[in-house]
């Protein structure tokens, strides 16, 4: 076992402060990577919530005792309950045909923030479809 001597202490002294530099270099890479992953998660969450609300609104508006406008109102309510009403700026519902069958389509247009919860917005347009029920 070598005894601590002047040569040994010189080697240790040359590395003094290296941990700080390593920490800064790692943080510069890891923090933006983490924030980017968090942002992708936020965008996907809002998009999936809008899609779910549009589908739910279409199913609700396709019931035999409801109108497509009821489906649009249901979609607006679902978005407001899940995330925030500001994400769904325009909700429309209309009667269409789906592979030859009468159907209801609910379209939700909104904006997802591109930088955190604020900042420039990314436009998103999703739609939900449901075959209309017929009266028994």
In a domain, 41, yes or no: yes
In a domain, 56, yes or no: yes
In a domain, 91, yes or no: yes
Taking residues 60-67, what's their average pLDDT? 93
Range from 18-22, 25-29, 88-92, 119-123 that averages highest in pLDDT: 25-29
In a domain, 48, yes or no: yes
Question: C-alpha distances in angstroms, 47 versus 3, 13, 30, 34?
Answer: 65, 54, 26, 20
In a domain, 1, yes or no: no
In a domain, 21, yes or no: yes
Global confidence as pTM = 0.77
Full domain range(s) for residue 125: 6-131
Of residues 56 and 18, more confidence is placed in 56
CB 82 within 8 A of CB 54: no
Number of domains present in the structure of the chain:
1
* pLDDT tens digits along 92-107: 999 999 899 999 999 9
In a domain, 136, yes or no: no
């Amino acid at each position: 076992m070598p005894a601590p001597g002047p040569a040994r202490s010189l080697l240790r002294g040359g590395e003094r402060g290296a941990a700080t530099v390593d920490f800064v270099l790692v943080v510069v890479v890891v923090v933006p990577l983490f924030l980017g992953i968090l942002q992708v998660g936020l965008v996907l969450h809002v998009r999936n919530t809008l899609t779910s609300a549009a589908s739910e609104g279409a199913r609700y508006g396709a019931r035999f005792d409801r109108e497509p406008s009821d489906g649009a109102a249901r979609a607006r309510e679902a978005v407001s309950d899940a995330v925030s009403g500001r994400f769904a700026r325009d909700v429309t519902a209309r009667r269409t045909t789906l592979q030859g069958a009468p159907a209801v389509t609910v379209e939700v247009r909104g904006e997802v923030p591109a930088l955190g919860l604020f900042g420039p917005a990314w436009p998103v347009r999703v739609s939900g479809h449901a075959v209309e029920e017929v009266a028994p």
